[in-house]
Amino acid sequence: MKIKRIMKSKRWLGIVLTLFIASLMITGVIQAQGAVTLTPTQITVAGSRGDVETRTLLLQSTEPITNIQVVALDLLNTDGTTVLPASAIQVSLPANTLAANEMMTLSISVDMANAASGEFQGNLFINYHGGQLPVPLNVKVKDTWYLPLLALLFGIGLAVGISHYRTMVKPRDEVLVHVGQLQAQMKKDTELAEPFRAVIDTAVVNVETALQTQKWEDAQAAMGKAEGYWNRWRRHRRDWLAQIVYYDELLAAFNKADPTHNSAYIQVIRRGVMDTGRTIADAETPEPLRQQLAEAGQQLNRYHTLKAQIDVVGQTAGDLDPVQESHWKTQAMSWQNQLNELAPADENAYAALKSQVSDGVAQINAAVQAATDEMQRGDNTKGVLGDSLSRLNFLTAPTLVDTGDEGQIVTANRNLRLFALVSYAVAIGLLAGAGFAQLYIARPDFGANAWADYFALLAWGFGVEASRGAVVDMIRGWGIQ
């Protein structure tokens, strides 16, 4: 019994000693691990594809450690579909042992030459005899700067090109297309009257002048006038032709009726007809032209009728004795002068003069037996329509006003162009720089989603021109520019 008790006591003593030794070993391991520290505790690397980024780790321990090793594993991107291989991570380890209370510097290099853009995460493991320390590693890779910048500039260039075409070229092209169509139609119309052709050609010249000075609204307005004249001509072609023929006949008749241009009566009528001719194309319909020409024709016919009677008096006077002949020829000349100075619209004065002439004709008929024949001749005489041109005052061309030194004008023009160019470049540069900083520089993983990232830059660049235009319009609204 005593022996059994002794044996049992020894067994319990062995168990207690074993547990004590094990606890000492575990405590030693824990103390050893707690004695090894790393600074920093995690590593973050950001760079562009093709870069080699280096970070430094400080390893220290209060106890000596041996058999130090650094193990790098593959890093995975956030969705686990792309790998940054462990071969891209290089660690420079000065020694594999570390004395107590000493420090060791480890150099960690990440080669991004063949890395895809994106964010990669994983761990480095610092192994040593009796322990291991994990080091979280985060690597952010983005595309190199020149491709994103090219995408941004392409967007800007595309927007500028479209804006330039829309504001500078498109209005010009649209107007030129209309001009070409109108001129082609005019060329086919062999009956186009000269008054309409003249005003359309003038409107087209105004269009070309406005286009040269980039006054698009003026060009469109001039083009609208040209098309308006053309449409008026086409709607009433036959009526216009008939009235214009009559207009030409009146002008020809004026030249025959008063070749010496001494009749104020003819001058007034002809001037009115000429004024009407200059505004033929301005009338919406031929009716106003017909009325004005008809009135002029009636006035001319009245002149012709009375002049024919006066001519009868002068011609019949030759059959009388010299005294009566002289009297009636003088009277006929006086009536002719009165007729020439008569206002065409003064019907009362015309009626009074016509009454005097008729009385004179009757008196000559009574004095000459051949009065009936002469009167018949006077009634059947076809008077000739006449023309009386007003005296032209030739004006001397005015002297050009001195606008200043030509060199100063050239300098001022150059300064304005330079200011416009610099202002444009500054506005584009600021807006483009803001977009590049926000969408590329601030994105450490730019290119991870290539379609979204590059199209965002492209869209930003495309919107730069619209933003610049909005700012310019707002400033103009303030009256600053």
Say whether pLDDT at 2 is over 70. Answer: no
pLDDT score of 356: 84
Mean pLDDT of 316-323: 75
Distance of CA 116 to the CA centre of its chain: 43
Query: Which is more confident, 3 or 163?
Result: 163
pLDDT score of 372: 45
CA distance 354 to 302: 10
The predicted-structure confidence for 40-66, as pLDDT tens digits, reads as follows 989 999 989 888 999 999 999 889 999
Q: If you ran DSSP here, which 8-state letter would residue 444 be given?
A: T
Query: Which is more confident, 365 or 191?
Result: 191
What is the torsional sign of CA 318, 319, 320, 321? Answer: positive
Q: Which CATH number does 34-142 carry? A: 2.60.40.10
pLDDT score of 175: 87
Instruction: With cut-offs at 50, 70 and 90, classify the pLDDT of residue 460.
Output: confident
Distance of CA 207 to the CA centre of its chain: 17
Question: What b/e string do you get for 88-100 counting C-beta neighbours within 10 Å, with b at 16 or more?
Answer: bbeeeeeeeebee
Residues in a beta bridge with 122? 137
SS3 at position 51: coil
pTM over 0.75: no
pLDDT score of 409: 56
Query: Which is more confident, 385 or 405?
Result: 405
Say whether pLDDT at 144 is over 70. Answer: yes
Q: What six digits make up the tokens of 461? A: 């660049």
**Which residues touch 126 (CB under 8 Å, ≥6 apart)?**
36, 38, 59, 68, 69, 70, 106, 132, 133, 134, 135
CA distance 440 to 437: 6
Please give the C-alpha separations between residue 152 and each of 60, 158, 454, in angstroms, as whole numbers: 48, 10, 8
CA distance 395 to 3: 157
The predicted-structure confidence for 213-232, as pLDDT tens digits, reads as follows 888 889 889 999 999 999 98
Mean pLDDT of 365-381: 52
Domain ranges in the chain are: 34-142, 238-380
Mean pLDDT of 280-291: 86
Please classify residue 465 by burial: count the beta carbons closer than 10 Å to its beta carbon, then call 0-12 exposed, 13-18 middle and 19+ buried: buried
pLDDT score of 130: 85
pLDDT score of 459: 84
Mean pLDDT of 154-161: 84
**Which residues touch 173 (CB under 8 Å, ≥6 apart)?**
none
The predicted-structure confidence for 111-123, as pLDDT tens digits, reads as follows 988 888 889 999 9
Mean pLDDT of 338-348: 83
Say whether pLDDT at 393 is over 70. Answer: no
